Copies of this chain bind each other. A is one copy, B any other.
Amino acid sequence: MRSNVARRQPETKPASSPASRPYRIEEQVGYLLRRAHQRASSIFQVTIGDPNITPTQYSSMMKLHEYTELSQNHLGRLVGMDKATMQGVVRRLKERRLVDSRPHPGDARRTLLSLTTEGHRLITKLLVNGPAVSRETLKPLNNQEQRQLLELLSRII
């Protein structure tokens, strides 16, 4: 293992000179978001109660639970997913009989999606564990910091 203590910076002062801050990949927001998202997904997987349901499938089913019926593109916009990505998510949910579809009456381009009875049953069950997922992910922070993080994240989306 290489020792990386090589050079010591003589106390770079806190803020105020943003240009002199060294560029470290570990301090870049994109890098931190990738790592944080990885951890959140991993916690979701072990906490939500069904290892075969992914975060995006969960979000999609939640929206169908809320809206009853949605076209595929509309659902994608609601959960922030590309229509190509949505296509795969919906296909897998349909294969598992958690989601059903019917042609849109009056617009032959669209397909209306809805939860099956089985889908309703499952999402109702998983919903119980939803708060635990967020709680566990945010555990390192206190209440005020948790709210702060959620607000800052909302603002950069």
Which residues of A line the B interface, CB within 8 A?
2, 15, 18, 23, 25, 27-41, 43-44, 55-56, 58-59, 62-63, 67, 79-80, 127, 130-131, 133-134, 137-138, 140-141, 143, 145-150, 152-157
Contact in complex: A55, B30 (CB < 8 Å): yes
A157: shortest Cβ distance to chain B, in Å?
5
Beyond A18-B131, A33-B37, A39-B156, list 5 extra A-B contacts (CB 8 Å). A18-B143, A25-B62, A30-B43, A35-B157, A145-B155
Whether B32 and A41, one on each chain, are in contact in the complex, defined by CB atoms closer than 8 angstroms, is no
As for how many copies of this chain the complex holds, the number is 2
Q: Is the interface of A mostly helix, strand, loop or mixed?
A: helix
Q: In the complex, are the beta carbons of A141 and B131 less than 8 A apart?
A: no
Which residues of B lie under 8 Å from residue A79 when comparing CB positions? Answer: 25
A38-B80, A55-B34 in contact; A28/B133 too (CB < 8 A)? yes
Tell me the bound Cα distance from A54 to B56 in angstroms: 22
Q: Which residues of B contact A35 (CB under 8 A)?
A: 80, 153, 157
What is the CA–CA distance of A40 and B112 in the complex, to the nearest angstrom?
31
Contact between A133 and B80, CB atoms less than 8 A apart: no
